[in-house]
Amino acid sequence: MAEVTNNEIVQALTEKFGGQIIGVNEPYGLLTFETTKDVIIEVLRFLKENTTTNFNFLTDITAVHYPEKKHGIAVVYHLHSMVQKIRIRVKVFIDEHHPTIPTATVLWNSANWMERETYDFFGVKFEGHPDLRRILNMDELGVHPMLKQYPLEDPNRVDKKDEYFGR
């Protein structure tokens, strides 16, 4: 099968979605672009089901927090075409005060726990997710700890006495 180049993928995407595909670049050869949360599922579906792109495998979903940006949470999808042996990275920037985005579980079952993890750590609410609960942290935690406003424990704190911990 003929190799599909990154340019051809971008061309196919812009033909279909027009101005919704922005910020295209290729850091270290990995095609990266941004889109909006209105069309993200359509974009993923197009990438998955189109026979020329054929990104059949969802590698990863995660998020990044940029507190200084207007839309402060980037949800990052890594897709992989095992046939073409290429990867692609899709980013969606969403408002950190109302972080909602449609769920990708309609396309891949593997998205289930990845989205739960992202919800747990960043508070991103995946609309339509069948079971959006915390996954690694306890429910009483109350915060989404990977957000940048939550620091690690101060290593110099003095109220934690070693004797209480058997040290």
Q: Given the rule CB under 8 A, which residues bind other proteins? A: 27-28, 30, 32, 56-60, 62, 64-65, 76, 78, 82, 85, 87, 89, 108-110, 112-114, 117, 121, 131, 133-140, 145-146, 152
Nearest to 101 by CA among 80, 74, 81: 74
Instruction: Specify the residue, 43 or 48, whose C-beta has the smaller distance to other proteins.
Output: 48
CB 100 within 8 A of CB 118: no
Residue 100 CB, nearest approach to other proteins (Å): 19
> Is 65 in a helix, a strand, or coil?
strand
Which stretch of DSSP H or E encloses residue 17? helix 6-17
Name the DSSP class of 38.
T
Instruction: Specify the residue, 19 or 27, whose C-beta has the smaller distance to other proteins.
Output: 27
Distances (CA, A) of 125 to 31, 45, 129: 26, 20, 9
CB 42 within 8 A of CB 69: no
Instruction: Specify the residue, 43 or 78, whose C-beta has the smaller distance to other proteins.
Output: 78
Residue 52 CB, nearest approach to other proteins (Å): 19
Residue 133 CB, nearest approach to other proteins (Å): 5
Residue 150 CB, nearest approach to other proteins (Å): 8
Instruction: Specify the residue, 46 or 108, whose C-beta has the smaller distance to other proteins.
Output: 108
